[in-house]
Structure 1
């Protein structure tokens, strides 16, 4: 099993031209590899604008579409584990917001569909309803990174502590969330939620945002890597940037031994409450 994983989060700027987005992502993946990264992750909706009016236009089948082809090639040519952010997927006339993972041979090893759809209404601030077009996923998905179990979520999934806890119970030490938080919720909630999921479950949490743009849905940025101790190991600002950190998996074991909350859980009480 690996002990230290050099991890790069690619906070990239995307536009309306899918081909240009894919070419730009491929270049940034190569740049991250040159910085020594073994695990590289892209943001939510990296190949297209983010919005309910774009999902059907940019949707592709997996693994046969141009985005899957680029991700497979980039993972193989750079010999890295590549978390391909997310992009709209279509299958059986249903649309999903989907994260794919590719191993150093360029093989698809995981596919996670956003489970909790982003349906919110904050008067005077932001209203968004992914369920107008998207269908939710219904499966937890992990992948093996040379003996290390990694769990996947997408953006709004970060708010649901049950998802992260189930991943911890499955043995995950790293959780990865491509995530385009917005200018209303991002400044207040984004960092706090990451620290909460990391502390609750004593795992590393990686979130990858698009770089901030000036039109349409405006992402907060601030991609981040958080340790099981709740320490921010690396954080981007709002513009395009690659951030790096060495994820030392021994820290998971140390924190879990020092503060053994999963051995101290009172399931005898929790289960009783559930039954009432």
Structure 2
């Protein structure tokens, strides 16, 4: 039954969002410097929310993740431990923007105590117990960091669904050979505007994440992503439009620029889609900044015209947004 009570707008005031489509090479310092230039360019358009691509600080690929991974904990990490963290913080602060920092490879090192005991009460065993030899376990994640206009870290999101696919004769890729999945949502409050959800690339194929985000008050779903030349032409725009029309929110997807000399060829075509699934802006293949205006009235118009939120049958099927806090 439709509610007669007035609803607060999920987007409090109009805001401009920019997707920065750029290419990353093997030099991390150069990648960070280049990103800073392009973020400044995006901010100059008036954008208050700026998005970088997946793996913006390094080449994309399982072979590269361990080499470029940074330790983010404890937070904030020292600059020498995570130059990307501090570069992103500075980009947000220097330009007075909310910065959704694409993603970077993250390293977590867990130290365990190992006694080296043999099960027999020997001198060697006793020595091993005294020494308490350390064993380091390394875990890698694909991680997105979001910063406030003051440079404060607002959210950390670890890619939840890993890109493990095999299309015969086209592409085989297994992120899980190196990466581990995250297990927490990233619903981020931007006080002047409202709430956004952040996920990464392959996550867009899982509508449950988008449903949870929309039903918990997000005005936009933001996906840094690096689709390839097989899945990109098939599903990149289709998935962005599907998540938008299903949930009547804005969707932004930010890709790396295509570099045919790299080991992984990104599709490009960063885009922003409105709550009626219309593509507002879309990049080509190369480096480009695309900008779109988001307006809360457009969300309300879509939801009043096609009132999905009041017509769902939670007496018949479950509301996934209430399954887990």
TM-score range, shorter chain: over 0.9
Counterpart position of 2:101: 84
Q: Following the alignment from structure 2 to structure 1, what is the Cα–Cα distance between the partners of residues 172 and 196?
A: 32
Instruction: Map residues 59-70 of structure 1 onto 2, 5 A cutoff.
Output: 59-62=69-72, 63-64=76-77, 65-70=82-87
Q: Following the alignment from structure 2 to structure 1, what is the Cα–Cα distance between the partners of residues 211 and 310?
A: 14
Instruction: Map residues 166-205 of structure 1 onto 2, 5 A cutoff.
Output: 166-205=212-251
**8 Å contact 1:10–1:243 — kept in the other structure?**
yes
> CA offsets per residue over residues 87-138 of structure 1, 9 Å max, x none?
0011132110001100000000011100000000111111000000101011
1:147 deviates by 4.1
Counterpart position of 1:116: 161
Counterpart position of 1:3: 13
Structure 2 portions without partners, runs of 5+: 1-10, 110-137, 319-325
**8 Å contact 2:257–2:287 — kept in the other structure?**
yes
Shift >2 Å, 4+ stretches? none
The normalised TM-score by structure 2 is 0.82
Counterpart position of 1:13: 23
Counterpart position of 2:6: none
**For this pair of structures, how many residues does the alignment match?**
271
Structure 1 portions without partners, runs of 5+: 272-276
Counterpart position of 1:131: 176
Q: Following the alignment from structure 1 to structure 2, what is the Cα–Cα distance between the partners of residues 115 and 176?
A: 14
Counterpart position of 1:244: 291
Within the alignment, does 1:268 sit opposite 2:315 as a pair? yes
1:39 deviates by 0.6
**8 Å contact 1:3–1:250 — kept in the other structure?**
no
For the residue of structure 2 that corresponds to 1:270, the secondary structure is coil
C-alpha RMSD of the superposition: 1.0
The normalised TM-score by structure 1 is 0.96
Q: Following the alignment from structure 2 to structure 1, what is the Cα–Cα distance between the partners of residues 317 and 92?
A: 43
Q: 2:269 aligned to 222, 229, 232, which one?
A: 222
Within the alignment, does 1:160 sit opposite 2:170 as a pair? no
